[in-house]
Structure 1
């Protein structure tokens, strides 16, 4: 094996002394033995030329995760990647948010690269995201992904990979969550410190979405390396499955009201069906009064003429007109799922020549 270059040797000494390194890979671990070998090998294979460390917090694993990590210490050391491991052995894990915060607090990188223990980095991931982060020090940086097993969450994966740079900021209210998904995040420590720590309430709490929304409130940007830099694994044990749809829905509604509806005097809800009516009912009374109409393409809904909010305590009960989308006026909150109508909905929307982020926002 070739001897490391002098520069990298000095970087190693700096890392071991506990001083700053360029990038800390932040990895929470809970019973990840099944995937760790592949994940750690991908970290070892990074072509990043700066200094690196791997900071791991073991959140009460009961398998061989901790032992496997320790066995990788010398391998990582050959590439001048130092390894920091801490954890706890409580009866129950404390959650992903807590584990991430602990891994970050013990790290010393100027930049943070978030890595899930069940995913795999492509060799150029850190190098390319670090380059973008240097140009965008006040942004969360993401990337495109390859989903495995192939074909799992097909629509979601397509959405992740095809959003335009502008849509990374405009489609933040959709049901998918952050427009740059947490397993691809890369940011400066300055960004993280500005936003604050992850929520530590544990299982069932979408700590990534909460952090993402708070980062936008703090004025941080969001951008993406338009290359596939991560193999993103789907499996039933993933922490994301513990978060209820109702929890995500409420967070999205509240953020929509805070960021958009406070700026609008009135608007139209595109979808007079179940999802549109649910959104209407979820709004504050003040924002319900701003809904001037529903619009749709379903003639049966349009012929009824109105949606009556039967649960309202007002008398008479609110009756909101239901129009054909061509007769409705912007701005719109769109509650129609994308990529579900063979392109028909997308063609209808395009025909109106509206601008996303000004004339409409997607909610579903």
Structure 2
């Protein structure tokens, strides 16, 4: 399903001069690799070599926007231009030299706005794509035209963020949709995204709020609101690097929490007349406190396995302005009734949570959703 190779029109061959050549370039590019860059010179050689090694037979373009790097990142990319263009990959490089970077969302938007591809392949400058990535995700995008396409990853250094990496690689295709409320964020992670440019433009541009703004999660949720799908190539196509300077570390837990609660209320709780919060501890009570007053009234119980919590009988919402203050029963999970919002962290109980859920013969996405 690779598109056929197409001959590029040079300036001398184009009958209409430079404008016609530019129009041909825009028409011809199948995939634009979108790469924001900020102080990434130590990783760029490996990243760009991997782009050079792609086995995709269609036309490709590398669109780079340098977000005020203070190292020689732009110089490194420029040094690769001849090799990439000799391989048939056109290169567009721009940037700015302001005193401060404008942020990942801004840099991605700039790289996209100057790109010409019918499809967008997002690439972080510190990651490395495997040779089959563009080809396989392009094929998947043809089958899922209004979707964000991800892939499995190899984490580097090996063993870092072990639970998170296992979640990325093992959730099922159905869970790509049902687990969008978990604290892990997008179920297909931003460094693996691939989509049609037409779908991206329909969803809209990335938030340009800068440092601390989860532009990927905001876009991901808005894509779902627009009716977009989520899919994954079930093959490792990216080496996903972990390091302390990664932009994701600047996003606060509270910011993510609010986005998730709002999306949960909008997409799930608005459809339910009542529900149970699975976890009478800190995380379950926090979710309750963050709910709207209307959704707080829908909470018929908390449930747990901790006998000490169950013996207390009730959770009293002390901060409530209601009189008398709301008192929500605390039950053993076997005595509680669906639907549930699960506020117990995945992959942290040695399989006990999963066994308990299975024992009740519940269906994820109907009888319960994971929130943590």
TM-score by length of 2: 0.95
Q: How many residues were matched structurally? A: 359
Note the alpha carbon deviations across 1:198-255, whole angstroms, 9 max, x for none: 0001000000000000000000000000000000000000000000000000000000
Note the alpha carbon deviations across 1:305-364, whole angstroms, 9 max, x for none: 000001111110000000000000000000000111111111011111111111000000
Query: Unaligned 5+ residue runs, structure 2?
Result: 12-20
| Residues in 2 aligned to 1:237 and 1:209: alpha-carbon distance in whole angstroms | 19
| Residues in 1 aligned to 2:86 and 2:22: alpha-carbon distance in whole angstroms | 14
Structure 1 match to 2:296: 288
- Match of 1:158, SS state, is helix
| Residues in 2 aligned to 1:62 and 1:187: alpha-carbon distance in whole angstroms | 31
Structure 1 match to 2:198: 190
Counterpart of 2:216 (choices 208, 211, 231) is 208
Q: Tell me if 1:298 matches 2:306.
A: yes
Structure 2 match to 1:149: 157
Structure 1 match to 2:361: 353
Structure 1 match to 2:61: 53
Write out the 4+ residue segments of structure 1 that deviate beyond 2 Å after TM superposition: 6-18
Structure 2 match to 1:181: 189
How far the C-alpha of 1:17 sits from its partner, in A, is: 5.1
Structure 1 match to 2:327: 319
> Does the Cα contact within 8 Å between 1:272 and 1:295 map onto a contact in 2?
yes
Counterpart of 1:19 (choices 26, 32, 44) is 26
Counterpart of 1:279 (choices 281, 287, 311) is 287
Structure 2 match to 1:3: none
> Does the Cα contact within 8 Å between 2:122 and 2:190 map onto a contact in 1?
yes
> Does the Cα contact within 8 Å between 2:5 and 2:59 map onto a contact in 1?
no
TM-score by length of 1: 0.97
Q: Tell me if 1:105 matches 2:105.
A: no
| Residues in 2 aligned to 1:15 and 1:158: alpha-carbon distance in whole angstroms | 44
> Does the Cα contact within 8 Å between 1:141 and 1:223 map onto a contact in 2?
yes
> Cα–Cα, structure 1 residues 184 and 28, in superposed 2: closer, same or farther, change >3 Å?
same
> Does the Cα contact within 8 Å between 2:206 and 2:215 map onto a contact in 1?
yes
Note the alpha carbon deviations across 1:72-120, whole angstroms, 9 max, x for none: 0001011100110010000000000000000000001000000000000
| Residues in 1 aligned to 2:299 and 2:116: alpha-carbon distance in whole angstroms | 49
CA RMSD of aligned residues (A): 1.3
Note the alpha carbon deviations across 1:285-309, whole angstroms, 9 max, x for none: 0000000000000000000100000
> Does the Cα contact within 8 Å between 2:105 and 2:207 map onto a contact in 1?
yes
| Residues in 2 aligned to 1:338 and 1:362: alpha-carbon distance in whole angstroms | 8
How far the C-alpha of 1:10 sits from its partner, in A, is: 2.7
